[in-house]
Chains A and B, each alone.
Chain A
Amino acid sequence: METLVSAADLEAIILTLRLAAATTLILFVVGTPIAWWLSRTRSRWKAPVGAVVALPLVLPPSVLGFYLLVSMGPKGPVGWLTQSLGLGLLPFTFWGLVVGSVLYSLPFMVQPVQNAFEAIGERPLEAAATLRASPLDRFFTVALPLSLPGFVTAGILTFAHTVGEFGVVLMIGGNIPGVTRVASVQIYDHVEALEYGDAHRLAAILLVFSFLVLLALYAWRPDRGRR
């Protein structure tokens, strides 16, 4: 009997999961301060920054991918920076994909977390301040626990969105097996090479995965477990 997926497809799936996990972890660290700032600031920069964060929602991935390819290239500012730091160039590397995915999935992390932070309101943080908690202390002991549901939502969305990411990866990946050939690109290749059977199998796996993730997200009610 034929195995469900070929070794190459399995490699692509594992790579996809690694990319999604790395992207999600990095975005927890990078997106949380942005979300916090956006939820608390009264600066006139709030609207522009919020709009920039939301850009990947509306931009075609090809636009983002193209700019990334140019800016991370040897003549681009990011490429210049990574080269002068001795990191080489980012396109065609796993970490290049991570950088692209972080940018592309940024709104999926920032927006749910920002909403969660905003829903807390000022009062619990003021209460914590009157209980001797410093701003950083308040953030970790009050704001974070109270917005946990937002973090779970953001994490799931970011992970799932990165798994489904295609356009940016295609633009900056270079289709290197085990390094940048993720599942969505592999499906594209199957389709282009008229290997419709392989395409179907891998596509079905992604479809079921995405459905399960979203099912978990919609079925999960944060307050159900709390009582």
Chain B
Amino acid sequence: MPSIRRLCLTASIVAACILATGLAAAGAASAAEAQIAVAANFAAPMKALIRRFEADTDHSVRASFGSTGKLYAQIKNGAPFGVLLAADQERPALLEQEGLGVPGTRFTYAVGTLVLWSAEPGVIGDGAALLRAGDFDKLAIANPRLAPYGEASVQTMDALGVKAALEPKLVMGESIAQTYQFVATGNAEAGLVALSQVMRDGESARGSGWIVPGDLHEPIRQDALILDRGRDNAAVNALFEYLKGEKARAVIRDFGYRMD
């Protein structure tokens, strides 16, 4: 009978649809997506980490890179990030206080290393001596008001007693990325940048540099925080655990960061 046959057909289609939907829902439960905000200086290691993380798990990650200040303003105004990987400790702590983060999740995922760097090989040998001599036209640093690397740069110059002498030669990048750009294009002969920017595969990629000893400035602790929006996201939680793991720490170290 045509009517019965049609009924059977309809039933089987409905069943298939329900099954497919159920499967899709199940898949979503195990493979989630994390949307994260990452400080610009950590862009290169983060990309490497995401590749590995996505290969090791079913989750996927969408990362936005920017200055910590801008990311903070965006999060305060409703940006849909599940995680913040900041360049400092201050902003994640603020977000935690303001109730925009998940309390207790904040931890230091990396400690930045400052390097006095020049795009020209052979320019920088003993960096401290060079800074004391002031034998250059322009020195690029990150804006100390905005970037932790900038703050550390000022502390370093202070510790070496050359801050006042170097003041007229300073040019400031809005972020550590822009500071690197000033030096990389040769417009500033030297600059205090993040070691992660000049390291490729565990070694300095080009130019010449001097790693600023850690005792010349406060450690540049970079904190991560799970945000309100990422509270129940499986991918966010998995990524967070992954960052704390030894595998990730090795990658981060390779990019020129210290670890606590």
In the bound complex, do residue B172 and residue A175 qualify as a contact, i.e. CB atoms below 8 Å apart?
Answer: yes
CB contacts (< 8 Å) of B146 on chain A: these are: 189, 192-193
A123 on interface, CB distance cutoff 8 Å: no
Q: Which of A64-119 contact B (CB under 8 A)?
A: 66, 69-70, 72-76, 79, 88-89, 91-92
Q: In the complex where A174-B140, A176-B171, A176-B172 touch, is A70 in contact with B185 (Cβ < 8 A)?
A: yes
B32 on interface, CB distance cutoff 8 Å: no
In the bound complex, do residue B174 and residue A72 qualify as a contact, i.e. CB atoms below 8 Å apart?
Answer: no
Within the complex, which residue of B143, B171, B181 is in contact with A92, where a contact is CB–CB below 8 Å?
B171
The docked-state distance in angstroms from the alpha carbon of A56 to that of B140 is: 27
The docked-state distance in angstroms from the alpha carbon of A124 to that of B113 is: 69
A191 on interface, CB distance cutoff 8 Å: yes
B162 on interface, CB distance cutoff 8 Å: no
B138 on interface, CB distance cutoff 8 Å: yes
Q: In the complex where A176-B170, A189-B145 touch, is A170 in contact with B178 (Cβ < 8 A)?
A: yes
CB contacts (< 8 Å) of A70 on chain B: these are: 185
Within the complex, which residue of B140, B170, B187 is in contact with A72, where a contact is CB–CB below 8 Å?
B187
Within the complex, which residue of B69, B140, B170 is in contact with A193, where a contact is CB–CB below 8 Å?
B69
The docked-state distance in angstroms from the alpha carbon of A194 to that of B181 is: 24
Q: Nearest chain A CB to B86's CB is how many angstroms away?
A: 13
Within the complex, which residue of B70, B173, B186 is in contact with A175, where a contact is CB–CB below 8 Å?
B173
CB contacts (< 8 Å) of A185 on chain B: these are: 174
Given contacts A170-B174, A189-B145, A192-B67, list 4 more A-B pairs with CB under 8 A.
Answer: A75-B185, A170-B178, A176-B170, A194-B69
Please report A residues at the B interface, Cβ cutoff 8 Å: 66, 69-70, 72-76, 79, 88-89, 91-92, 170-172, 174-176, 185, 188-189, 191-194
The 9 closest A-B pairs by CB, nearest first: A174-B171, A192-B69, A175-B172, A91-B187, A192-B146, A73-B185, A74-B186, A73-B187, A92-B171
Q: List 10 A-B contacts (CB under 8 A).
A: A69-B181, A75-B186, A171-B181, A189-B143, A189-B145, A191-B70, A191-B73, A192-B67, A193-B145, A194-B73
